[in-house]
Amino acid sequence: MKPLATAAASVTLALLTFFQFPGHTWLQQDSQIYVPILEHLRDPSVLRNDILVQHPHVAFTLYDETTLALSAVSGAGFREVLAAQQIATRALGIWGLLLMAESLGLAFGPALLVAAICSLGALIPGPAVLTFEYEPTPRAFAVPLVVCAIGLAAQRRHLAAGIAAAAAFLYHPPTALPFWGVYFVFALWPSAERRARLAAWVPLAAAVAVLGVAAHAQSASGEAQRVFARLDGGQEFLQRMRTAYVWISAWPAATIAHHALMLAVLVAAFVRIRQAVGLPLRVLLLGLGALGALTMPLSWLLLEQFHWGLVPQVQPMRALLFLTLGMQFLVAAAGARAVVARRPAEAAAWLACAYLLPLQPLLTGPIVWSRFGLGLALAALTALAGIRWAPVVAVAAFFAIPVLGGVVNYPSLHTPDLAQLSAWARANTERDAVFVFPGAGRSLAPGIFRSDAQRAVYVDWKGGGQVNYLKDLGEQWWSRWRQTCDFQPADLPQYAASGIDYVVLLAPLPRAAQFQNSSYVVYQLK
């Protein structure tokens, strides 16, 4: 493959995934947690009364140090710096896909076809993660770096693979650990390349040392995470209520069947093209796929039977994303090889499996026939186009899936009224003011307000997603949530006694308001 063409394709597809499909979001999911922590780390006087920054959980990642440093050096805001990291790591991950496809003996055209189809992304039912994360979170950066490492290892560039996987470890250790576990087996595999494979561990050793120093420096910044503790009854209740996706017993049977189907299709695709799959890719793809499947019974045993408190923090079942990604890659590769060999029927069958994932995330659930038909149509068009035009069809899928398939990966939550409320609060209230949104329920609006207004929020539903990390945070969040989830005007004196300065409601009360627009009404309590 020509380096310039490979780089151009990687960057172009990364930009396409960012701006078109699957897309990107800001302050709509986990960035609602990380951005306030970053703001507080940069300026400890910001949001110091907010429950989230009082219980940070970024000690074991360089995500915060890297983002703070890039922002300081460039002068750009967190949104711009995080978006740049998101695009850059996506480009590296797509480069990894191209390297993986090239290791199968595919030329640039069919390799580009494989990379483009895999770049359409996929939702992983159950653990609720994605192969291409929308939010600029640590996992969003670590996953494509792991894919890059797999591609480099497939090309037998083991030191470079170690650097990429070590960078993933620095961003998000739980995401990188499955790769390193499988790579450990691969490194010890009897071969003349064993010494070269062992060189990959040098970057990891350096990454562990750096992360250890960073974690020690932040050890006093929040509650210590209990590694060997067992969950008590209260913690289990709270986690099952708020973070049920961590507990496999809460998953529908169709979700478990879906992952079993992913494993079966992955094995079938591997068997079809096994002669082209070299040892590195064979061990890594099959190993990660098998490990992802094994995390389901392993999580059930360690969490639901032994109640080990580390499991909800690490969330091992997120490794199922490597099972899905491995399946999508192998069926796309099998389809590309069939297109090259001019076997359109076979190509369409394999490619349909890959195209359906971004259209129908749960293949064992109810079928949306219009989307199912679009997946089959894209597969047939790709197979019939021939290898010269097949990548063009794959690129067209980035537009066809949201337009013709009606796939909306995320809602639009940033409204003019919410922006107006945030601007008013930032300009007209004390920096230490505490707000509460008792009528918001599970809405994500309070989390957007927290970062845009840079004002503390007493409690919100999204912030409760951290109950699986820190016991004290969970207890405090649950107490506040029960206090405010069923609002009555008579509760206002109690709110004031709890340190709340402003109440944001969706309907007016018979009293003077400090701010009001068509969506929100704000009342001052102190």
179-209 residue pLDDT tens: 999 999 888 877 777 788 888 999 999 999 9
Q: What is the mean pLDDT of the chain?
A: 95
Decide if pLDDT at 221 tops 60.
no
Q: Compute the CA torsion angle 134, 137, 140, 141 (nearest 10 deg).
A: 140
- Residue with the larger pLDDT of the pair 167 and 188: 167
Buried b (16+ CB within 10 A) or exposed e, 443-453: bbbbbbbbbbb
In the chain, % of residues over pLDDT 70: 98
Cα–Cα distance for residue pair 380/400, rounded to 1 Å: 14
pLDDT at 462 over 60: yes
Residue 149, pLDDT above cutoff 70: yes
CA distance 269 to 266: 5
- Tell me: pLDDT of 412 over 70: yes
Read off the pLDDT band of 88 (50, 70, 90): very high
Of residues 18 and 197, the one with the higher pLDDT is 18
Over residues 124-140, the mean pLDDT reads: 97
pLDDT digits (tens, 9 = 90+) for 274-330: 999 999 999 999 999 999 999 999 999 999 999 999 999 999 999 999 999 999 999
Q: What is the pLDDT of residues 233-281, one digit of tens each?
A: 999 999 999 999 999 999 999 999 999 999 999 999 999 999 999 999 9
* Alpha-carbon torsion (510, 512, 515, 517), positive or negative: positive
Largest CA distance in the chain: 81
CB atoms within 10 A of CB 314: 20
Contacts of 453 (CB under 8 A, 6+ apart): 421, 422, 423, 425, 426, 435
- Start-to-end CA distance of the chain, whole Å, equals 67
- Give tens-digit pLDDT for 330-368: 999 999 999 999 999 999 999 999 999 999 999 999 999
The pLDDT of residue 105 is above 80 = yes
What's the mean pLDDT in 377-390? 97
Mention every residue, 6+ apart, whose C-beta is less than 8 A from residue 126: 245, 248, 251, 255, 256, 258, 259, 317, 320
Q: Is residue 224 scored above 60 in pLDDT?
A: no
According to DSSP, residue 285 is labeled: H
Q: What's residue 279's pLDDT?
A: 93
Q: At what angle do helices 369-403 and 320-340 cross, to 10 degrees?
A: 90
The confidence score (pLDDT) of residue 57 equals 78
Mean pLDDT, range 109-133, rounded to an integer: 97
List of residues 6+ apart from 165 with CB closer than 8 A: 145, 146, 149, 176, 179, 180, 183, 200, 203, 204
Q: Is 302 exposed, middle or buried (0-12, 13-18, 19+ CB in 10 A)?
A: middle
Give dist(CA 66, CA 147) in Å, integer.
Answer: 21
Task: Note the pLDDT of residue 469.
Answer: 85
Would you say 498 and 80 are in contact if contact means Cβ atoms under 8 Å apart? no
Over 70: is that where the pLDDT of 496 sits? yes
Residue type, 331: V
* Residue with more model confidence, 219 or 401: 401
Q: Is the pLDDT of residue 217 over 80?
A: no
